[in-house]
Chain A
Amino acid sequence: MAGAKTVLWKELKDLSRDYRTLVAVVVLPLIGLPGLALLTGVLVTSQTISLAVVVEDPYMAQNVGLLVNAINASLQLYGVAANISVYTNLSDVAPQEADVLVYIPDGFYSNLTRIDGQARVVVSILIGSQASETARQAVETTFNMLSQNIVRDRVLRLGDMAGVRVNPEGFLNPIVVERGFHKVTGAPATGAEASVAQAARILEFSLFFVVNPTVVFMTDSIVGEKERKTIEKLLMAPISRRSLLVGKLAASGILGLLSAVADGAGIIAFFQISGTQFTLSPTIIIVWFAAVVLLVLTTAPLIVFIASRSESVRAAQNASFLVVMAALAIYFSTLMVDLSKLPGPLSLALSLVPFTHAALMIHNYALGEVEAALLNAAVMTGYWVLLTLLAARSFSTEKLVMYKS
């Protein structure tokens, strides 16, 4: 392998000055994803909606301050800033000026205070507005809490009338559903383990971000040398084709890992900043990292195979697009589909694609199936060896020199 280290040094030096690639692969996800979360957060919190509360019920009108305070508190919990206006007549409100309209008609209070009365309230929102939709949820939460208090009061009153002691909570929630978790092996799982298994789906999807830079780098590293007319002199240097290939694959591996770390950190930061629950354990991170390494090692020789047969970077990238699309299809589906639960023929077809095993490696480990995860790692390793041997065979000087650049 004499010379592989020198080729690796050259590739990394060259890469370190290829600012466009570095920005796209490392800086963009590292800054872009948290930036996106920050920006979204800032935009969401900076938007203010107009909320009109129309109270035609005279008693409620006297106590509208309490209602508005309760709605306001709920809106704050949902992170919605609102300007609330109160009206006593529906005809005073121009609906197009209100993002959310809460209408409390006459008779609301009397229905509410009757032992079996059903009060009616209308909440109308501006269609196509996410903020209005969130505000609707906040308003409905306020009325749900009010409803529960009314039920408690009615149950206690009925109990008094009947001369029995009753627990209002039994009326509110006659069935209590308790959550439990178990692993594929049947062993019980903790809530934290369930959260990690859920977060693993995001990690599986994040594998896609590793495939793309590996494809771009390997394509440029091989066909780019043809186009830039550096390959012929390099091939005549005293270095074996195998060492040359190893040097280039190693460089691609380093870029893939950099990209994985940047993407992983970016994704975690995105979820942290956006306040989404995302639980990871140190071991799942290690398994994810191992999957990334195997994925890069498998993707790179696959691209060598394509690139050494391509006449230009563009032609190689077009051909590699199929590889990227296959990876995207698999990793995007992991967000919604349980790959290990697919029917036989479909599962078999997917298991022939190396990318599937990288996702399954994380998935199986997260579900507690360590042996299955190890098997996926072994299959990936097998693919790596096989594809590297194929790449070494296809990496012929004649193909590299003779295809027009």
Chain B
Amino acid sequence: MHVISVDNLWKTIKRKKVLRGASLTVGEGQVYVLAGPNGAGKTTLIRILMGLITRDAGRVEVLGLEPGGAGWDTVKLEIGYLPEDASPYDRLTGWENLRFYAELYSRGDPGKVREYLENAAAISGLTREELSRRAGGYSRGMKRRLLIAATLMHNPRLVVMDEPTSGLDVFAAYRVKRTIRSMAGRGYTFLITTHDMSEAQELATHVGFIESGRIVFQGTVEEALKAYSAQSLEEAFVRAVGGGRG
């Protein structure tokens, strides 16, 4: 069964064709890494999948529904979304940030709020003392861990992360990737965008290469390596999207 299904997706933003017939499918339990250079259309594709922006043409289904359509607010309960460069509320403490999202995802059920907060605290790896401090004083890595915890706290069926390690130092990026691997091991479905091929190789079960608004390849990691006779995903990616550039 497909968790995400995109067929022939088109989107123009400010007269620029950002997506030009993109198609992809993400199956249950996959860690699907959508890799592409900056400006390839990754974030726009993700935003359409999340129902945040509309499409010009094409067919999109996420968890069996059209994003932004009827019933979408209920489907949101089954999705965890971490946008690129997202930030917590700086004047709220770590706990208060988590509590805010826990309240929204639990829809006022106190039992679920407690459960989600416990989940989040465990996922974040932040100490109680750290969670009691205002998020404005956190390092970039701590902020990202807090937001990942807020993204995963409600055990979503589908997790969508846009450049989750972008701008993080080596240690912070390592912690984030470790969290993703751990959650993936428990059967979560992930769609992750990145332009870092080593990260894609570390995390992915499946990959999609996007270039100028088109998916030029999708399949398992092994299929990608085989298709491009490559030793690494980086090499496969360069051959797939780089053309003569490599």
Contact A397 B73 (CB under 8 A): no
Residue of B nearest to A6 (CB): B103
Q: Which of B114-141 contact A (CB under 8 A)?
A: 134
Partner of A233, one of B47, B86, B96: B86
Contact B76 A232 (CB under 8 A): no
**Does A116 sit within 8 A of B, measured CB to CB?**
no
Tally of contact residues, B, Cβ under 8 A? 36
What is the distance, in angstroms, from A300's C-beta to the closest C-beta of chain B? 20
What bracket does the count of chain A residues touching chain B fall in?
A: 20 to 34
**Does A144 sit within 8 A of B, measured CB to CB?**
no
What is the distance, in angstroms, from A395's C-beta to the closest C-beta of chain B? 13
Contact A14 B91 (CB under 8 A): yes
**Does A174 sit within 8 A of B, measured CB to CB?**
no
Contact A233 B83 (CB under 8 A): yes
Give complex CA distance A233, B13 in Å: 21
Give complex CA distance A3, B53 in Å: 22
What is the distance, in angstroms, from A131's C-beta to the closest C-beta of chain B? 48
What is the distance, in angstroms, from A82's C-beta to the closest C-beta of chain B? 54
**Does A186 sit within 8 A of B, measured CB to CB?**
no
**Does B88 sit within 8 A of A, measured CB to CB?**
yes
| Chain B residues with CB below 8 A from A402, complex form | 13, 53
Residue of B nearest to A399 (CB): B53
**Does A228 sit within 8 A of B, measured CB to CB?**
yes
Give complex CA distance A402, B89 in Å: 20
- Residue interface bits B39-69, CB-to-A below 8 A is 1, else 0: 0000000010011111000000000000010
- Residue interface bits A213-235, CB-to-B below 8 A is 1, else 0: 00000000000000011101101
Give complex CA distance A350, B23 in Å: 56
What is the distance, in angstroms, from B80's C-beta to the closest C-beta of chain A? 9
Contact B104 A239 (CB under 8 A): yes
Contact B104 A233 (CB under 8 A): no
Beyond the given pairs A233-B86, A238-B104, A238-B107, 20 more chain A to chain B contacts, judged by CB atoms under 8 angstroms and listed by A's residue number, are A2-B107, A3-B104, A6-B100, A6-B103, A10-B89, A13-B92, A14-B92, A17-B134, A18-B91, A228-B89, A228-B90, A230-B86, A230-B89, A232-B47, A232-B81, A233-B82, A233-B147, A236-B83, A237-B101, A397-B52
> Which residues of B are interface residues toward A (Cβ below 8 A)?
13, 47, 50-54, 68, 73-74, 76-77, 79, 81-83, 85-92, 96, 100-101, 103-105, 107-108, 134, 147, 150-151
> Which residues of A are interface residues toward B (Cβ below 8 A)?
2-3, 5-6, 9-10, 13-14, 17-18, 228-230, 232-233, 235-240, 397-398, 401-402
